[in-house]
Amino acid sequence: PHKINYRANIWALYELGVERILSTSAVGSLNEAMKPGDFVILDQLLDFTKTRHYTFYDGDDSPHDRKFVAHVDFTDPYCPELRKALITAARELGFEYHPTGTYACMEGPRFETRAEIRALKILGADVVGMTQCPEAALARELEMCYASVAIVTNFAAGISREKLTHTEVVELMAKKSEEIKYLLMKSIKYIPKERHCPCKDALKGATGE
């Protein structure tokens, strides 16, 4: 997760003309109500990453014709239209899901300490993972709609009584893979053909011009 070229991935989709992104992420739970196997339709983010490239707008170092700095509104990091589609699909399919959830993004690749998880829980995080930032912010910078459904694979450090392993993450994701496919495919029919969300206008007023 710490070496993914998030900018390249999002830019590639942008170059292809993609306007909407539905993503998935495996997470550990800090919230006892969000159990392994549950889906969480994320609505908020906490970013604790340290070494990643966070923006397309680095001034003189920006790619192509984007040599300026942009301060995009990120109050609600996930597209409301895509979130609504995912929630409707999850409800219709009868899956165990939570319509909101705050994701804390950590640098990785190690799992978190007991103290880190305790601190994140105090700050309001429900789940923890390593991939949502800066992916969601980069999509917003390019005025793309972005939403993510998190799959709880385990309880986080200090909550789980077992040693945390990547194996359990992979195994549970494999078990849920068919449900994930059904959820994403079902949600597509609830996505409006025309975008009426704020995502499409993210750069308006963000550059000071």
Q: Over the stretch 125-138, which tens digit does the pLDDT of each residue have?
A: 999 999 999 999 99
183 pLDDT tier (thresholds 50, 70, 90): very high
Amino acid at 24: T
More confident residue, 177 or 67: 177
Average pLDDT over residues 72-86: 97
What fold, for 6-201? Rossmann fold (3.40.50)
The structure tokens 């992916």 sit at: 135
169 pLDDT tier (thresholds 50, 70, 90): confident
- The rounded distance, in Å, linking the Cα atoms of 177 and 165 is 19
- The rounded distance, in Å, linking the Cα atoms of 51 and 55 is 12
Question: Helix-strand-coil percent breakdown of the chain, rounded to 5?
Answer: 35, 20, 45
The pLDDT assigned to 170 comes to 81
The pLDDT assigned to 92 comes to 97
Strands 20-29 and 127-129: antiparallel
The pLDDT assigned to 114 comes to 92
The pLDDT assigned to 159 comes to 79
Q: Which is it for the CA torsion 86, 88, 93, 98, positive or negative?
A: positive
More confident residue, 67 or 91: 91
The pLDDT assigned to 208 comes to 60
- The rounded distance, in Å, linking the Cα atoms of 40 and 177 is 15
Average pLDDT over residues 194-207: 92
pLDDT digits (tens, 9 = 90+) for 146-165: 999 999 998 987 776 677 67
DSSP codes joined into one string, 45-94: EEEE--SS---S--GGGSSTT--S------SS-S-HHHHHHHHHHHHHHT
CA 86 from centroid of its chain's CA atoms: 13
Percent of the chain with pLDDT over 90: 79
Q: How high is the mean pLDDT of the chain?
A: 92
Residue 209: pLDDT over 60: no
